[in-house]
Amino acid sequence: MEGSNVYNVTAKILRKINQTKDTSSTRALFANIRNSINKSSSNNLDALAFVFNNMPEEYIGFGKELSDYEQAILTAIQMYALHQQSNEKSVLKIEYNEGEKRQNLGDALSTLRGSDNKSIDRRFNAMILSSNYLQLQNHLRQFIKLLKAKSDAKVDYASVADDLFWFLKNQKDGVKIKWSRSYYKFRKVNDKGEN
């Protein structure tokens, strides 16, 4: 199945980066990857070189545009680099205990919901109603900045890459439903008022 391969390839790349996240060379790589966000492929050669170097050959495209595999994996790694910036603890969630359900972006974003959900819900709804990939990327970037500032939630960026791949493959509705289910699911509040 194509999507699960995107997950596995992205998870492998992310584990590799995460293991060395505190080294100066990885911090420089993160800066290059962050600086590649919203730039054309000709202006983000360092980020592309890293991604291409760590992808299986069959995922690397041939044309003038990035393949769906390349685009999904690159975007997920860009969002991870943005989220990890200035964070001493890892923001990456890719290791699961046996029987534990794999999280998706909606799970992490649901941690932003508080007593006044209206503004965050409006932002979420705008993101899932994105009609194209560029809009989705822009909304996603804003949400990652919010997560970074207001939550200690970890994100399964390999799952994000997998979902972005299916969004690019015109499976938008499935991705939107999946994220919405996780985002809006009932979260039991304990007697201290915590989720």
Domains of the chain plus CATH, in order, are: 2-184 (1.10.520.40)
- pTM of this structure: 0.89
Q: How confident is the model at residue 194 (pLDDT cuts 50, 70, 90)?
A: low
Q: How confident is the model at residue 1 (pLDDT cuts 50, 70, 90)?
A: very low
Contact 165, 174 (CB under 8 A): no
Q: How confident is the model at residue 12 (pLDDT cuts 50, 70, 90)?
A: very high
What's the rounded Cα separation, in Å, for the pair 73 and 161? 5
What's the rounded Cα separation, in Å, for the pair 163 and 3? 8
Q: Is the pLDDT score of 180 beyond 80?
A: yes
- pLDDT (average), residues 144-161: 94
What's the rounded Cα separation, in Å, for the pair 4 and 90? 23
- pLDDT (average), residues 83-91: 89
Cα distances (Å, whole numbers) of residue 145 to 19, 41, 138, 172 = 23, 23, 11, 23
Q: Is the pLDDT score of 126 beyond 70?
A: yes
Mean pLDDT of the chain: 87
Q: Is the pLDDT score of 94 beyond 50?
A: yes
